Amino acid sequence: MTIQTIILAAGQGSRMRSALPKVLHKIADKPLLKHVYDTAISLPNNQITIVYGHGGEQVQQALSGITAIWVEQKQQLGTGHAVQQTVEYIADDSKVLILYGDVPLIAAQTITHLLDQVSVDSMALLTVTLADPTGYGRIVRDHDNQVTRIVEHKDASKEELSITECNTGILACQGSKLKAWLSRLTNNNVQNEFYLTDIIQMAVNDGYKVVTATVTDENEVLGVNTRKQLAHLERVYQYQQADALMLHGVTLLDPARVDVRGSFTAIGQDIEVDVNVQFIGNNRIGSNVKIGANCIIKNADIADNVEILPFSLIEDASIGQNSRIGPFARLRPETELADNVHIGNFVEIKKSTIATGSKVNHLSYIGDSEVGSHVNIGAGTITCNYDGANKFKTIIGDGAFIGSDSQLVAPVTIGKNATIGAGSTITKDTPDNQLTLSRVKQVSVENWQRPVKKG
């Protein structure tokens, strides 16, 4: 049976105190709504409809790459009213699932279990038991423990307020039944809103059984209404990611101080990660990799036996086996390092390839370059690749030795096994196997007096 998921994402989120629509606030650098969408789209044969309202154009633009039907709720008149806007898209023979764009941590396994409870004579409701149910709709049951209705907190009697089993708002039922019940909704309540929860009592009155599934971790169904709740769920999500990494065999020296803001295409064995490391985007990490404290790893491809020392930034770059990076190194986009490469402290590499066994160990900038194998680049060396308008390439042959404090003014080629004397400014191609240097004559001034402070 086809699944049709309706994600309600029209709320303004006034308690966030933000110009940004609530569902676009982020957990792990991904909008809340995208978290929900990604979970829903993982289900097979699932057609997704998103109900938008406040900041609708901004919401659609932020999620422009997804496949979904977008439906506008022009007036926010309650959850029931929001679902009513989607009626023309609901197929009679589908299983309809209701999710919320501000409930980001709902798990696919929970949804699948809920959908399994839907049949021709039953609908399914997800509930949670809370120590403090303030603000939540309560699940009212009869003497046979069957669900009879849901009462909203503001409409509940004193006795009903003592109930701790709460409605999460997440439910599933057959499309034909949902459409029939939606057509009968009224707004005769304190809020003058059309409550989706009213369909529960309608279902019972029509002879349909309401089957419940209960989540054991309340964080899975917590919504975001304030910055504090957003921060709480960020930490919950990061603990989940840390647990997943450790199950893959990654050693985290402090699981509370590692952030994952993306995914991994592959994770090897015996990886060690120190504190305050951020993984952003899509990363591939080989085996026996050691990552020091305070590193940022973004869209990186890191081979086996690599050591990344503290305070290094790796972005859209690949690192070959047995290489050593940092500390305080920066690998910028389109950097490709072969095996056994050393990139040292305060070195920046940009859009360059560095072949096997080469070293750039201190205080250097290498940009738009092809560096051969077994090259040694001395401290303070820079490739002058930009003339203020255009970028130019530097080519350094195998076995070259670049002396400290050299400037290689591109476009320029350094020959194989060439040596560049320290302090040189190289503006022309240099031959293989020769020493090239450019220095002004050194002079010493006799009888020179060092300046002294006046009076």
Residues annotated as catalytic (active site), given as ranges: 362
CA distance 68 to 101: 13
**84 within 8 A of 180, measured Cβ to Cβ:** no
Q: Considering only CA atoms, which of 208, 119, 235, 219 is closest in space to residue 168?
A: 219
Retrieve residue 74's tokens: 């022009």
Question: What's the DSSP call for residue 218?
Answer: G
CA distance 123 to 126: 10
The DSSP string of 10-79 is: ----GGG--SS-GGGSEETTEEHHHHHHHHHHTSTTEEEEEEE-TTHHHHHHHTTTS--EEEE-SS---H
Residue 246's H or E segment, with its range, is helix 227-247
Retrieve residue 414's tokens: 């350094």
**CA 249 vs CA 267, 271, 285, 292: distances in Å:** 9, 7, 12, 17
Per DSSP (E only), the strands in 21-121 are 26-27, 30-31, 46-52, 69-72, 95-100
**240 within 8 A of 260, measured Cβ to Cβ:** no
For residue 453, count other CB atoms closer than 10 A to its CB: 4
What is the residue whose two structure tokens read 């320029």? 412
What is the residue whose two structure tokens read 């900041």? 55
CA distance 337 to 281: 20
- What is the CA 437 to chain-centroid distance, rounded? 49
CA distance 250 to 341: 24
Q: Considering only CA atoms, which of 215, 105, 204, 112 is closest in space to residue 167?
A: 215
CA distance 351 to 445: 45
Backbone angles phi, psi at 113, to 5 degrees: -60, -40
**93 within 8 A of 1, measured Cβ to Cβ:** yes
